[in-house]
Chains A and B, each alone.
Chain A
Amino acid sequence: MSDTIEAVGLTKRYGDAVAVDGLTFTVQPGRVTGFLGPNGAGKSTTMRLVLGLDAPSAGTVTVAGRHYADLPRPLHTVGALLDARAVHPGRSAANHLLALAQAAGIGRKRVDEVLGLVGLENVAGRRAGTFSLGMSQRLGIAAALLGDPPVLLFDEPVNGLDPEGIRWIRTLMRGLAAQGRTVLVSSHLMSEMALTAQHLLVIGRGRLLADASVEEFLHRHGTETVLVRAGEQGGLARLLRRAGAHLDTDDDALLVQGLTATEIGKLAAADGIALAELTPRRGSLEDVFMALTADAVEYGVSA
């Protein structure tokens, strides 16, 4: 039994609207997999399907080889944080966790343990309704960790957190993956995933747009441009065009595509052209993501 999440042709329709459209993917253990897409792309719906909260219209999804509802010990297999505010505001943090723990046959000691793990031990007796969003996120993560599960799902865990909280969650997720667990984290922020994830699943309008490692993703979809400035701009442009480069101008500089900075430098030197600037510019993950999902934004803003 391997601790993967496997979706095959996973589809969810609401009337005529298709929220999740034939997703097929496998989330592997031992790394943080970023589940990336614009708002409304179907990330949360997919996670709800994985966890058996919603039933798919077509296709299947399994965790550790079984449908969620068929897991003999669900909390010991999968931990999930979907909505940090999904707690009865009148119940204390400790009692909220205790009720979940009891349902899964987990002892009270583990409740104290996870409260300590997320740094809520001093407010364990306080009612959850008095918690800040950051504290609620920590409580949700504590609930996810109760059964010490090998598979973890987090839906937009850094939303609304302060920088310290964001750093804490990043470290935690990478740590969990480093222990060999399967970690799936959704986000609509590419920059966040660039810092946290090793692998990416990108979706837009419910469809899978990419399933690749972060490097692969950038390499495949990113375009590397080099910015060059020279005294003899015209001569340099002719030279580079002859070498097969595609050129754009940006003020008085040239934006070169199709040649690396090293190649440009060599060509210029061979022709005796002195360069004033030579800067490789990598398309940022954010740019790549925006370009990739541009057509896939459900509620695009038309200019």
Chain B
Amino acid sequence: MTVIRSEWTKFSSLRSTWLTAAVTVAIALAVGALAATGQASGYHDMSAADRAAWDPTATSLTAITVAQLAIGVLGVLVITAEYATGSIQPSLLAVPRRGRLLAAKAGVFTVVAVLLGQLIGFTSFFLGQAVFAGQGVPYATLAQPDVTRAVIGGGLYLAALGLLGLGLGTLLRSTAGAIGTLVTLTLLVRAVAQALPRTWADWMDRYWPTAAGEKIFAVVPVDGALGPWPGFALLCGCVALVCGGGYLVLRTKDA
């Protein structure tokens, strides 16, 4: 408990923390509003099949693909800032049991990331539905089946990506290295997968952890994809593996 308070003091006493959080929310809302407007204006020209696949909930949450990077960076910095500034040294002198230090960091950050994720998820959702309603396009309400799960799921997805950042940072101990890996895992790999032969690309869409995890904020099911919870569980499992690897590095390597 004492270590958790200490980690909260560390996290909250930096201006950069609040700045990054604010930027994350701002980017998410701005991109979300733009994307919703763009998609809505295209709705009337869509084919019948595309209209059937129209998922106003998921569409209003597109901003998550951008916000995931910002929250991931926040997670990376929670640990790499300690290495970059050298403050890991006094931190470890105060808490020499390294697992306890990492657990406290992860605990504090998870709470922050979940709250931030929910803020982004719900705000983007309501903003997006308002845009759709304004343009006379079918829109979603929380009362419809699966919609609440998807909106909450969007926030949870963001929290998982934040923890992925923390895990990568612990594993690599370098801000640039961890952020580079984060971008590669979330965006680059999937962009490259599009260029692969059809069957491979399909496989990647189904089982690549972030692709599988994204199903948690879709309402209209995608053919052949994992369900929302199995997909999200796959993502969480992979995040846990990365964090476990980070723990091993922290535990065994010289600080």
Binding site for B on A (CB under 8 A): 48, 51-55, 68-69, 71, 74-75, 78, 80, 82-83, 85-92, 95-96, 98-105, 143
Contacts and interface: CB of A to CB of B under 8 A. Distances in A.
Contacts of A51: 93
Contact of B6 (A48, A89, A100): A100
A55 B90 contact: no
B13 interface: yes
A302 to B, nearest CB: 32
A103 B105 CA distance: 12
A88 B83 CA distance: 10
Interface stretch (B94-102, B208-216, B240-248): B94-102
B89 interface: yes
Given A83-B89, A103-B2, A74 B96 contact: yes
Nearest to A85: B86
B254 interface: yes
Contacts of A86: 85-90
Contacts of B91: 99-100, 103
Nearest to B104: A103
A53 B254 contact: yes
Interface in B14-43: 14-16
Nearest to A143: B90
Contacts of A78: 93
A102 B86 CA distance: 19
Interface of B: 2-3, 5-7, 9-10, 13-16, 81-82, 85-97, 254-255
Contacts of A55: 254
A77 to B, nearest CB: 11
A102 B89 contact: no
Contacts of B82: 88
B15 A90 contact: yes
Contacts of B89: 53, 82-83, 86
Contacts of A71: 96
B9 A98 contact: yes
A166 to B, nearest CB: 23
Contacts of A89: 85
Nearest to B88: A86
A55 B250 CA distance: 12
Given A53-B254, A69-B96, A74-B94, A88 B81 contact: yes
Given A52-B96, A69-B96, A102-B6, A95 B13 contact: yes
A65 B6 CA distance: 27
Contacts of A52: 92, 96
A103 B87 contact: no
A232 to B, nearest CB: 66
A99 B93 contact: no
Contacts of A80: 93
A69 B97 contact: yes
10 contacts: A53-B93, A53-B254, A71-B96, A87-B90, A88-B87, A99-B13, A99-B91, A102-B5, A103-B2, A104-B2
Nearest to A80: B93
Contacts of B85: 86-89
Contact of B9 (A74, A82, A95): A95
Contacts of A54: 254-255
Residue among A52, A75, A88, A89 with the highest chain B CB neighbour number at 10 A: A88
B6 A53 contact: no
A82 to B, nearest CB: 6
A90 B12 CA distance: 11
A68 B254 contact: no
A236 to B, nearest CB: 61
A105 B81 CA distance: 24
Contact of A103 (B6, B13, B254, B255): B6
Residue among B13, B89, B90 with the highest chain A CB neighbour number at 10 A: B90
Contact of A75 (B7, B88, B94): B94
A91 B86 contact: no
Contacts of B9: 95, 98-99, 102
Contacts of A105: 2
A29 to B, nearest CB: 20
A32 B221 CA distance: 72
